[in-house]
Chains A and B, each alone.
Chain A
Amino acid sequence: MMLRTHTIRASANTSTAVVWAVSLAGSAFIILPIVFMVGTALKSDSAVLSVPVQLIPGEPKFSNFSKATQLIPFWRQMANSVLVAGMGAIGTVLSSAMAAYALARLRVRGMRAVFTIILVTILLPSQVLLVSQFLIFKGLGWYGTYLPLIVPSWLGGGTFNIFLLRQYFLTLPRELEQAAMLDGAGPLRTFFQVVLPQAAPALAAVGVLDFVSKWNDFLGPLIYLNETSDYTLPLGLAAFRGIYDTAWNYLMAASLLSVLPCVVLFLVAQRWVVRGFAVTTTKG
C-alpha cells in the first residue's frame, strides 16, 4: 500500500486542483517580480516611464546591460565582491567546521558553556556591534582594507553555521574516525581527511549561503572601504540609485547582472545545499 502524503484532500481531483492553484499563484508571486526585473532591464528610457506598464518591453534594448556596466565600475566591483565573498566563505566553512567538530565530538569540560554562549551570540544583531567593532578595527589598523570583512569569518565564522554543522556532525558515524585514529592519524588529519569529506553537503550549504550573504553585505563595505576602486557590488548599486534616481532600467540591468553569480552558484550546488540544509534542520 502506498504511503499517502499528508496534504489535506477530500478527493483526488479537488486536491490536485488545489495543489495546482496554490502552486501557480505562489509561483506567480515569486516569478513576476523577477520577470519584471528582467523586463525593466531591457526597457528603453522612455519605455520605463510610460503607462500602461508593460511586463516585457516590445523592443528590448540589450545594450542596457553594457551601458549599465559603464555607468559604474561594475566589473571591478564584481571582482572585489568575488574576492571578499569567496575568501570569507572559505574562512567561514573552515573555522565553523572546526568549532562544530569540537562541540560535536570532543566531550570535555566547558563545552556546554561554550555551546550556550554560541547560541546566545546568534541573537546579537550585527549592527549592534558596529561602532565598537569599528573602533577595534581602527585600533588594529585595518581600516580601509578588506580585512574587517574577511578576517572575522576565519575566526569562527558565523555562530549559526557552527550550530548547523554541529548537528550534521552528530549524525556522522564515529567508526570512520575511530578507524583513522587507530591507524595513527592525528586529530587534524582525521578532521580534514575523514570528517570533512563526509560532511560535504553541509559544508556546501554553509559555504554557499555564506558566500551569498557576504556578496550582499552592504553596511560593512560602506563603513570600512575607502577607495571607490575597492567597492563591492552592493555599494555600487546603491551609488547608482544615488546618481540616477529614475533610471530604473539601468539600475535593474546592473542588479540583474549582480545577482547572477549567486544564482548560478546555487543552481550548481543545489542538490548539496538542499540536502545539507535538510539534514541539519531536521535534527534540530
Chain B
Amino acid sequence: MVRQSQAAKLSGGRRDPLRRRNQLVAWGFLSPWALGFVLFVLGPMVLSLVVSFTDYPILRPAQTRFVGLENYETAWNDDLLRHSLAVTLLYTAIAVPADLVVGLVLALIMNVRARGVAVFRTVFFLPIMISGTGGASVAVALLWAFVFQPRFGLLNAVLRFVNLPPQLWVASTKQVVPSLALMSLWSVGRSMLVYLAGLQALPGEVMLAAQVDGASSWRRFWQITLPLLTPMVLFNLILGLIGALQTFTQAYVITQGGPRDASLFYLIYLYRNAFTYLDMGYASAMAWILFALTLALTLLIFRTARKWVFYAAEPPER
C-alpha cells in the first residue's frame, strides 16, 4: 500500500491524495514558523498598528483614548522626527556605499592564490566573530567608545603619532555620524566574504575565454567580473541598507543620541518617545513609518535592480 503511493509520487500520477499529503507535510514543517509568525510578528504588527491610532498610556491603560490619525499628524509636523530621519539617512548614505565599495576592493585584493592570504581573510573576519553580522554589539561599541576618546583613545594617538591634529570624533556634532560610519566599516568583512564567494564561483570558462581573447584586465573587470558580481552587490546593498536604517546599539551605548542630538538615530528617538515620554501611541506610529519607508526603499532598489543586476543565466536587460 505504502509503496504504491510512493511510486505514484515519483511518477507524478494520482495527483489528489499526493497533493493533499504534500500540503499537510509542508504545513507541518512550516508550523513552528507559522505559529511564531502569528504570535510574534503578525500579532505585534497589528497590535502596534492599533496602538498607533491611540494615545496609550502604558502605566494607566484604563485611560486609553482613540485619537485616529493624530499621531501621524504630529509625526508629520515633528521637527525632531525629521531630524532623526535625516541623521539616519545621512549615516546610511555614508556607511552603505563605503561598505559596498571597500568590501569589493578588499575581496578583489584577497582573491589571489598566494600563501598567507588566508591569514588576512581571517583578520578581516575577526570583527564579525566578535560582534556577529548584526554589525554592532555592546562590547564592540564600548571598545570604539574608547577608541574615539579624544585624549586617551587610539585614533587620536595615531593622529598625533603622524603629526596630524587630533579630532573630536563622537564628541563633535559634525563628526559624530561619519565617526559611527567609520566604526561600521570595521565590519566590512561580512560583505567582503560575500564578494569573495562570488568571485570564486565565477564561471571559469568565461574568464578563460576572455583572457585568451586578449582583453586587458581592466576591461575584464568592468565588462565581465563586475556584472557577474552584481547579485552580490544587490545582496550586500539590501542587507546594508536595512541594517543602517535600524542603527540603534552603537548610538545608544556610545552617544545616547548626542552630542546635542547630532546622532539622534530614528530608533533612538523612537525609544525615547516610548520609554522617556511614555508615548506608546506615537512610538508605534513612528515604527510603522519606518517600516513603510524601508519597504518603499527596498522595492525601489528591486525595481532598479532589473536594470543592473545580471544573473548568469539571463542576458542583461538594456
Hey, which bits of chain A sit against chain B, CB under 8 A? 1, 3-9, 18-19, 22-23, 26-27, 29-34, 36-37, 40, 48-53, 55, 94-96, 98-99, 101-103, 106-109, 111, 114, 117, 120-133, 135-136, 152, 154-157, 162, 178, 181-182, 184, 187, 191, 209, 212-213, 215-216, 218-219, 233-234, 237-238, 241, 248, 251-252, 255, 258-259, 262-263, 265-267, 270, 274, 277-279, 281-282, 284
Contacts and interface: CB of A to CB of B under 8 A. Distances in A.
B281 to A, nearest CB: 10
B202 to A, nearest CB: 8
B291 A124 contact: yes
Nearest to B134: A213
Given A102-B26, A213-B134, 16 more contacts: A3-B207, A5-B112, A26-B124, A33-B144, A55-B154, A109-B23, A124-B291, A127-B246, A127-B287, A128-B288, A152-B36, A154-B36, A234-B138, A252-B146, A274-B193, A277-B197
Contacts of B212: 1
Interface of B: 2-3, 6, 9-10, 19, 22-23, 25-30, 32-37, 39-41, 43-45, 47-48, 51, 58, 105-106, 108-114, 117, 120, 122-134, 137-139, 142-144, 146-147, 149, 151-154, 156-158, 160, 185-186, 189, 193-194, 196-202, 204, 207-208, 211-212, 217-218, 220-221, 225, 231-232, 234-235, 242, 245-246, 248-249, 252-253, 267, 270-271, 274, 280, 283-284, 287-288, 290-291, 294-295, 298
Contacts of B2: 184
10 contacts: A4-B211, A4-B217, A22-B109, A33-B143, A33-B154, A99-B29, A155-B36, A212-B131, A278-B196, A281-B198
Given A51-B152, A255-B139, A282-B198, A8 B218 contact: yes
A216 B138 CA distance: 7
Of B109, B221, B280, chain A has the most CB atoms within 10 Å of the CB of B109
Of A136, A237, A282, chain B has the most CB atoms within 10 Å of the CB of A282
A178 B51 contact: no
B129 A212 contact: yes
A6 B34 contact: no
Contacts of A187: 25, 28-29
Chain A's interface: helix, strand, loop or mixed, by majority?
helix
A99 B30 contact: yes
Nearest to B108: A7
B253 to A, nearest CB: 7
A239 to B, nearest CB: 10
Contacts, number: 302
A123 B291 contact: yes
Of B19, B43, B138, chain A has the most CB atoms within 10 Å of the CB of B138
